[in-house]
Amino acid sequence: MSKDKFDYFIKGEKNNYEVIIGLEVHAQVSSNSKLFSGSATKFGAEPNSQVSLIDSAFPGMLPVINKECINQAIRTGLGLNAKINNNSVFDRKNYFYADLPQGYQISQYKNPIVGEGKVLLDMPYGSKEIGIERLHLEQDAGKSIHDMDPSNTYVDLNRSGIALMEIVSKPDLRSPEEVNAYIKKLRTIMRYLGTCDGNMQEGSLRADVNVSVRQVGDKKFGTRCEIKNVNSIKFMQMAIEYEANRQVELLDEGKKIEQETRLFDTKKNETRSMRSKEDAHDYRYFPDPDLLPLKIEQKLIDDLKKTLPELPDNKKERFMKDYGLNSYEANVLVSEKEISNYYEEVAKLSDKKLAATWMMGDLFAMLNDKGLNISKSPITAKNFAELVQSIKSGEISGRIAKEVFELMVESGDNAKKIIESKGMKQQSDPKELEKIINEILTKNKDKVEQYKSGKEKLFGFFVGQVMKQSGGKANPQLTNDILKKLLKG
Amino acid sequence: MSEIVKKNLSEIIDLIKKKEIKSEELANLYIDKVNKSKKLNSYITTCFEHTIQKSKEFDKKPNLNTLLPGVPLAVKDLFCTNGFKTTAGSKMLENFIPQYESTVTENLWKEGAILLGKLNCDEYAMGSSNETSYFGNVINPIAKDTVPGGSSGGSASALAADLTPATIGTDTGGSIRQPASFTGTVGLKPTYGLCSRWGIVAFASSLDQAGPMTKSVKDCSIMLEAMAGFDKKDSTSIEKKKENYSKNLKTDIKGLKIGIPKEYRVENMPKEIDELWNKGKSILKDLGADIIDISLPHTKYALPTYYIVAPAEASSNLARYDGVKYGYRSSKGNDLIEMYENTRSEGFGDEVKRRILIGTYVLSSGYYDAYYLKAQKVRQLIKKDFDENFGKVDAILTPSTPSSAFKIGEKTNDPISMYLNDIFTVPVNLAGLPAISVPAGLDKKGFPLGLQLIGKTLDEQNILNVAYAFEKNCNFKNEIKNWWL
């Protein structure tokens, strides 16, 4: 969080270059059935077990739009502060491939369901708005498996026909960091809405990355290259880094950048040309005559709007206002709906600020360590709140609290029970403490003399002795106060 | 040869209802004639075991409260039939057996009909003479060297030759009405969306429509009633209540306004057709209809528009026949692309390839606006022509075709003259309207000619009524001698 100024530039021989990035994110719609058929969409099913006659394009089969997918696209559009188009059209994108049974993909070309919108990013150097160009619905293709057999390709059509939302950003992104923030923000919004699970390992979220560079100060965009189908944020960042440097090198050599489609090789960490602009497919888009134009009543949009959950930007603002969190804390705690729910439950029962600190510290570290989602946390929100309150009330010290936390994770017991059974309660009785301190001072008269004659560093030694004597339970603040008083005397 | 097979569908239904004939006996009569009529090549597939078994089941427990009780029917081989080969007249689907039933045929079976076989047609319904079928051309029972029209040529031939009491076809640009006209039978193309397209091998999705082909207008109303209906599996299906076309059939057309579009009087049209058209006008006038001259100014653009829109959709619809999932796959080729190329080169016939090429071209980047987009705009103008005139008239009367049945091979090397056959029928498909072809007379060769009645959207009842009245007063008689037996 140290950078307070944007500084992602590629150094060329003479000039610094700015990197321009636009993303086409393919997000799988959360729905029980496919975009135009009743087939199931569960991940990891037996190959070709979720395929209908429509998905495999048998003669005479016709697509019928799945209304739930439409609603999900509208919800997502609303979550992106975008215009929902009352009229949109499904087009056919024609090309041949073994895992594309129809010989065309049903997509939306000229008239998408969702128009312009925007997404707000929180960058260390301030907040930044990324424009959304459009969102459209389309069918996914099947999967060709080339490595199961030396001479044959196998095709799994389970994915064939699954609904995807293609979310196209404006070329507003300027660094791999911003791409990271953008993808995470999109994912957060869609998870809040329940419109896409955002699971990148399962391919629910992938992106085509458009990269170009221009000299700092230039107004005109450079020629862009499109890196196809990158399926993790890390790979997107690596691909951008590589591609931007490649383009800068070319320009430095006085060469031109060719507009082309490239692939990112994750093993070699480089992008490679896939096809040039001249070889680009002619997809022969035209409106799908099997489907009528999609008309969306304003009432449906209004009704869906009413049922939207509180979205991360609003929730963040509320967290800052209601719970006194800073922007960074609020950001982290709204990053997932489940985290924000957990926090709100804890905050209701304990100190809001301290709860945030402890959640983002020990709780997240533990969950991370165990590879657990917060919904699977071994410590319930209620128990966690109790722990936070025990710290706040001075019943236990922060150091002891860490031990209690560990024990809570191990045993599943609540904080009170652990503190009591292990006698971990903080020693906060001034008389008891005074007794201990007096004993220590009597035992170390020489050190007291040295302290009084100016060797104030010895204060720490006395504190240490008190802690040792009390088994770490002495209230540190109280110990300090009493020690100071008695050493003066 | 039994005289029963010559009867109209409605007469046959009466016989069954009166228990004067059993379904099995009826089936055997047709099977017998089909077996003796192979020369016509109207059937691609027969399924007589199934027919007999089903008719026996019917006879055991006859349900007479259906529209087509125990009636054996053959259907165009473009309708997918569960468990029975569905070829679309193509090598590509030579051995394709669907595991599902098209909605339209399913509706027929629900009304008591029994599948007799699958009827020849132009490959993927692309043709006007049934000469593009991979399974060979079909002969018109009218005369042994003539085509039955197309693409529902097998359906028309089988019907006219009494090899099925009624049948169904599909009509994308005239594929029901033109063969009906060529064989002296009745053919109706319903309003786009009245009959479900689910399970019909697609040619051009925005134009394709299934419809009945019968020996009489009354039969036509019965068949339409059985076929039609909303289907949620077809997004372009129209949601409306079922109509009782046969019950509501009437001959009173007094006061109806019949439009005569001047643009349908084309150059080089045989005099006989013009005379027949006049005969039609006077019959309707005598029945009390008002004959009104109208203009459909964009008619001349209909054919070029059609031959952009239909191939464009076809080029995309036929992309699925790639050898990967089902159907023909070439054994030659070293990689995926070569497999595609060889499969499609070997699996498709010339006419299909021609249309795929045209369609691919008109959708290509740089040509889309000049061809496809413009064609869509012209299509709207053609539709508007009809809409405006249907304020003034209730139905429109035109010839069905610019000629009677032509000789086999006469037009196969001249696609343009073949396409011109659709000149009177394509505007209706472009506008999505219903139209019926009724036999109206014979030319001097003794070949039948039909007249077409075009109706408003979902006004099938009205054109059926006009056709019914016309039929009763026209005294048309088909002169088919069973020369092939």
pLDDT in tens, B124-175: 999 999 999 999 999 999 999 999 999 999 999 999 999 999 999 999 999 9
Nearest CA distance, A71 vs chain B (angstrom): 18
Closest CA to B308 of B374, B385, B382, B383: B374
- Inside any domain, residue A467: yes
Determine the residue of chain A that is closest to B79 in CA distance: A60
Do residues B343 and B351 touch, judged by C-beta distance below 8 A? no
For residue A45, give its domain range.
9-305
Rounded to whole angstroms, the Cα distance separating A345 from A328 reads: 20
pLDDT at residue B305 in the model: 98
- Percentages (nearest 5) of helix, strand, coil residues in chain A: 40, 20, 40
Q: Which of A238, A271, A305 is the last residue of a domain?
A: A305
Of A209 and A416, more confident: A209
Give me the CATH number covering residue A436: 1.10.10.410
Q: Which of A384, A404, A421 is the last residue of a domain?
A: A421
**Domain co-membership, A298 together with A186:** yes
Closest CA to A427 of A414, A441, A437: A437
pLDDT at residue B246 in the model: 96
Residue contact B235–A291, C-beta within 8 A: yes
pLDDT at A327 over 80: yes
Average pLDDT, chain A: 93
**Domain co-membership, A331 together with A480:** no
Nearest CA distance, B213 vs chain A (angstrom): 21
B contact test, residue of A156, A279, A284 with most B CBs within 10 A:
A284
Cβ-proximal residues to B9 (8 Å cutoff; 6+ apart), any chain? B68, B71, B165, B166, B214, B215, B216, B219, B222, B223
pLDDT at residue A489 in the model: 66
Cis peptide before B237 (omega within 30 of 0): no
- Inside any domain, residue A2: no
- Paired tokens of B33: 């004639």
Stretch B170-199: mean pLDDT:
98
pLDDT at B22 over 60: yes
CB under 8 A, 24+ apart: contacts of B54-59: B54/B114, B54/B115, B55/B22, B55/B23, B55/B24, B55/B26, B55/B27, B55/B114, B56/B23, B56/B24, B58/B23, B58/B24, B58/B112, B58/B114, B59/B22, B59/B23, B59/B24
* ipTM of the complex as predicted: 0.96
* DSSP β-bridge partners for residue A440: none
A1 band by pLDDT with thresholds 50, 70 and 90: very low
- Inside any domain, residue A1: no
Residue contact B96–A153, C-beta within 8 A: no
Touching check for A286 and chain B: CB below 8 Å? yes
Rounded to whole angstroms, the Cα distance separating A405 from A422 reads: 13
Cβ-proximal residues to A334 (8 Å cutoff; 6+ apart), any chain? A188, A312, A315, A316, A319, A340
- Inside any domain, residue A443: yes
Helix ranges restricted to H, A126-255: 176-193, 233-252
Stretch A196-210: mean pLDDT:
93
- Paired tokens of A181: 């923030």
Residue contact A286–B312, C-beta within 8 A: yes
From chain B, pick out residues whose CB is under 8 angstroms from the CB of A102: 319-320
Domains of chain A: total: 3
Touching check for A125 and chain B: CB below 8 Å? no
Look-up of token digits 């069973």:
B482
**How is residue A361 annotated by DSSP?**
I
DSSP string computed for A188-199: HHHHHHTS----
From chain A, pick out residues whose CB is under 8 angstroms from the CB of B238: none
pLDDT at residue A3 in the model: 65
Rounded to whole angstroms, the Cα distance separating B295 from A103 reads: 42
Stretch A368-383: mean pLDDT:
93
Touching check for B201 and chain A: CB below 8 Å? yes
**Domain co-membership, A171 together with A63:** yes
Q: Which of A286, A305, A324 is the last residue of a domain?
A: A305
**What is the percent of chain A where pLDDT is above 90?**
72
**Domain co-membership, A275 together with A391:** no
- Paired tokens of B17: 């209802």
The catalytic residue positions of B are 76, 151, 175
From chain B, pick out residues whose CB is under 8 angstroms from the CB of A291: 235-236
Stretch B172-194: mean pLDDT:
98
**Domain co-membership, A350 together with A442:** no
Nearest CA distance, A42 vs chain B (angstrom): 23
Nearest CA distance, A220 vs chain B (angstrom): 27
**Domain co-membership, A140 together with A194:** yes
Rounded to whole angstroms, the Cα distance separating A339 from A318 reads: 15
pLDDT at residue A16 in the model: 93
**Domain co-membership, A118 together with A218:** yes
From chain B, pick out residues whose CB is under 8 angstroms from the CB of A70: none
**Domain co-membership, A250 together with A347:** no
Stretch A303-307: mean pLDDT:
96
CB count in 10 Å sphere of residue B141: 28
Of A63, A103, A155, the CB nearest to B320: A103
What pTM was computed for the model? 0.91
Residue contact A289–B100, C-beta within 8 A: no
Residue contact A282–B365, C-beta within 8 A: yes
Touching check for A64 and chain B: CB below 8 Å? yes
pLDDT at residue B474 in the model: 95
pLDDT at A270 over 80: yes
A contact test, residue of B75, B328, B363 with most A CBs within 10 A:
B363
Of A63, A282, A290, the CB nearest to B364: A282
Closest CA to B438 of B150, B174, B184, B140: B184
From chain A, pick out residues whose CB is under 8 angstroms from the CB of B325: 56-58, 101
Residue contact A103–B372, C-beta within 8 A: no
- Inside any domain, residue A3: no
Touching check for A1 and chain B: CB below 8 Å? no
pLDDT at A438 over 90: no
Q: Could you give phi then psi for residue B247, rounded to 5 degrees?
A: -65, -35
pLDDT at A279 over 80: no
From chain A, pick out residues whose CB is under 8 angstroms from the CB of B232: 64
pLDDT at residue A487 in the model: 84
Touching check for A96 and chain B: CB below 8 Å? yes
Do residues B98 and B86 touch, judged by C-beta distance below 8 A? yes
pLDDT at residue A303 in the model: 97
Nearest CA distance, B221 vs chain A (angstrom): 25
**Domain co-membership, A270 together with A340:** no
Stretch A43-54: mean pLDDT:
94
| Interface contacts A/B by beta carbons within 8 Å | 94
**Domain co-membership, A166 together with A198:** yes
Of A62, A104, A282, the CB nearest to B316: A104
Do residues A426 and A475 touch, judged by C-beta distance below 8 A? yes
**Domain co-membership, A96 together with A24:** yes
Rounded to whole angstroms, the Cα distance separating A318 from B2 reads: 88
pLDDT in tens, B62-78: 999 999 999 999 999 99
Report the phi/psi class of residue B329: left, alpha or beta, with left for phi > 0 and alpha for psi in -120 to 50.
Answer: beta
Touching check for A104 and chain B: CB below 8 Å? yes
Residue contact A101–B336, C-beta within 8 A: no
From chain B, pick out residues whose CB is under 8 angstroms from the CB of A151: none
Look-up of token digits 């304020």:
B391
B contact test, residue of A285, A290, A294, A295 with most B CBs within 10 A:
A290
Determine the residue of chain B that is closest to A94 in CA distance: B316
Touching check for A458 and chain B: CB below 8 Å? no
Of A104, A153, A155, the CB nearest to B319: A104
Determine the residue of chain B that is closest to A56 in CA distance: B325
Nearest CA distance, B236 vs chain A (angstrom): 7
Residue contact B100–A98, C-beta within 8 A: no
Of B99, B235, B340, the CB nearest to A63: B235
Closest CA to B144 of B409, B400, B401, B419: B409
Rounded to whole angstroms, the Cα distance separating B92 from A470 reads: 90
From chain B, pick out residues whose CB is under 8 angstroms from the CB of A285: 363, 368
From chain B, pick out residues whose CB is under 8 angstroms from the CB of A53: 99-100
Touching check for A463 and chain B: CB below 8 Å? no
pLDDT at residue A395 in the model: 83
Residue contact B325–A104, C-beta within 8 A: no
Touching check for B368 and chain A: CB below 8 Å? yes
Touching check for A446 and chain B: CB below 8 Å? no
Touching check for A146 and chain B: CB below 8 Å? no
Is the domain B4-252 a CATH 3.90.1300.10 member?
A: yes
**Domain co-membership, A411 together with A442:** no
From chain A, pick out residues whose CB is under 8 angstroms from the CB of B328: none
Closest CA to B217 of B453, B406, B432: B453
**What is the percent of chain B where pLDDT is above 90?**
96
Residue contact B100–A53, C-beta within 8 A: yes
- Paired tokens of A61: 């089969």
pLDDT at residue B1 in the model: 57
Rounded to whole angstroms, the Cα distance separating A122 from A188 reads: 13
